Structure 1
Amino acid sequence: MKIKSIMISDLVVNRSNDRHGELENETAAIAWLFNQRETHMRNLTKDIVEKGGIFEMPLVAPEGEKYVVFDGNRRVTSLKLLASPRKAPNSDLQSFFIDQRARWTGHFPDTIQCQVEANRERIDAILFRRHTGTQNGVGQSTWDDRMKATFIERTGQSNGISVADEIEKRLKEADMLPGSKKIPRSTMNRLLSSEPFRNRLGFSVTKGRFEYTHNEDVSLSAMARVANDLANKKLVLGDIWDVDGKRKYLDDLEREGVLPNAAHTFSRHSPRHSAVSAKRNKSVTVARQIKRTTLIPQTDYGLIWPGRLQRHHHIWNELQFNLQLTEHPNAISVLFRVLLELSIENYIGQSGVIINDGDKLAARLIKVGKHLRTAGKIDDKQVGILTKFQQSDQLVSADTLNRYVHSPNFAPSPEHLASMWDSMASVICLCLQA
């Protein structure tokens, strides 16, 4: 541990704070704090002004010439906005910080002492042990269940099964461990912290049980490659700190042919697959008996959300958890169109699909569909549905979505909206995964 006096202007509010998951940048992170914790932020700022400083050093890590804050983001945000009130998210908050700065007694500090940790595994260990008690916003805010889940998904730390331990055990049995070098287990757990990433290596961990989803030999070979890259420091924690880093590494392995593919999935007739299928079919049957209340069914679609998709993620959550089909059909119809357009634009931007300036929504969707078909991610039937999107007499069409937004006489029904989602869900998910 190193204690260092750091310029407030050199501290960066963490865009990947576990309170909210990955956001686009520092400005978005500051805005989130006030959108979700404005009363706490005001109380904390008043306390800092009254006491003439902060009582606990922020926990930071060096990043280039700056320092990213891992604990103390609220304290640092208050100090940064007291130093520059005009950077507050809105005029009301700007006035508040101008008033609080005027109340400051004596010289306002340019620097504050921080705990500097270069080892991010140690940072995670510190974060895991700290977050208790709110003191009405003056102390550290307690993580709720979703925030704890975000931390566990990002880092792989939990009280349940250790993915790294399970992999190491299987590699040892197959005599495929990377020589005498140790595998950085915490880094491997971070890489494979969520099911979509585990599935790409050919296995799943659900309800504390490790299970192969693809050919065992191919999956073991992929695990051995990851273990070797970690043990030999070809892959380090900084490379996979966020979603985009994890995805990039796995994409590189896929391009090399290291990861299992569709041909390696278990046969439908294998005993292992039959047992898994029976279990899944049972779950589906139970799910169908539950009345659907939101546009997006409340099931796990296996999506991961990088910071650049923060708005997409917020809209998704509103459509999956907040807006009720029977009570908010108009709001749902508009947000459904927005989510579809944003998803398509994400796929175009990430995959390099060539779009003309005059291409409207239908034309863009068709081009995306053809690109997905060429990549083998959808079949001809799905392409046919997308091709008909430009026809006004179809259930799912650009004309229908336009009427939802602009027509005073075209009222969306919950049943129609649900059918449209069911028809487009797989393509939207693929676009968001790009």
Structure 2
Amino acid sequence: MQILCATDFSTAAMAAADIASALAKKLQLPLRLVHCAQDYIVMGDLPVVVPDDKHLREQLKREADRLRATGLEVVEEFRHGNASPEIIDAAAGQPTKMIVLGSVGKGMAERWLLGSVAERVAEGAAVPTLVVRQPELLLDWLSGADALRLLCGVDLTASADAAVAALQTFVVLGRVEIEAAYVPPPEDPIAAKDQQVIRQRDVWERLHAILGDVPVKVHVRDVGGQPAVEFLRTADEQQSGLIVVGTHQRHGWQRLKAPSFSRSTLAHATTNVLCVPSAASLPETRIPSIQRVLLATNFTDVCTEALRHAHSLLPAGGSIHLMHVCFEPSSGINPVIASEVYFDHSIATAKARKEAEEKIKALPLSLLTVPGVAITSEVLAHHDIAAAICDAAERKGADVICMGTKGRSRTGAALLGSTVQAVLARAHKPVFVITPPLA
């Protein structure tokens, strides 16, 4: 295991190397210092002049010797190529605890087109990436002079769990003050005061399930706007020395379709940021617990049975989010018939929503008022019912999706139905499928 630090010999990179060196000492790990030189480009039949890397190699050796003077084991490595993929490959080539990088600001136009090296490494590396922007805060903490104020972004997803687990490294290194912030997405605002209390409790329980008995302060922001902006505002208000966020590491069209919270945080934060990929493993001793169940229903006969089983998954209390999805046509309909189709479906959808809301109210009161279990519900319209269910599970931070199905065939194979099959294929959560009881 090692700490990997990439350097371009700038002032920011040298400060990051000091942080990486101090972390490596505390963790009793070697430091791997990497520099990536750009490849030369051959244009047609023009004569090729191979650049002399001697000066850069000497710089790398001097920087490694400076860090070795502190008594640390330092391995220097010189590479050719684009910095971001080379750093990612270097970390993947040997067991790596963390990547440490300095950050140099870029204009928004350049960042939009290219992104910074730090952003690209954080989006592609399989290990946590620490981007150093205020090195003095980390150095004071590592020297034991001050406590480090940590702010972790928590949204009740797997990537947030990985970020919380990464806090354990900092807990053992020195005095820390841990805070967590939950900012609801614009499509799922927290309106009522009791909902804020429930979500605050959910976040607190999630943190303690991973970290154990560690003091944590939880903030729930109920404000409009972009989640990353509100999260960074919380960091500024709390004077956080390190921001910790999880990242799904989306790429290409996925990144454009779903704006990245971690990318926005990293791009605009003024303090140090640790980006933790969702692939980062959680402690092996952690046993998953079920606190939030998403129950998707179409109000067939198995609905009540599914609600009973959803309660059975929450013996110590928790929450159930009951949802029904009404079908509506997609926006890709032929424009010649679109107006007629949408008119017909708008009437049908409105009627279906009203009927669904009435059916939710008609469910047995004994199943809707179980002590210790909070039940919420929603009825929405979507052209892809399975996608809506999977999105709701992520949005609500569900630990498991609960669904009912029609029954079994004579051969014993489950007749799951297209919606259940689609959810099983797409969901990143466990799916609990309930069949009707035998007559």
Tell me if both proteins adopt one fold, taking TM over 0.5 as the criterion.
no
Answer 1 or 2: which has greater strand percent. 2
The TM-score, its normalising length taken from structure 2, stands at 0.24
More helix by share: 1
TM-score if structure 1 supplies the norm length? 0.25
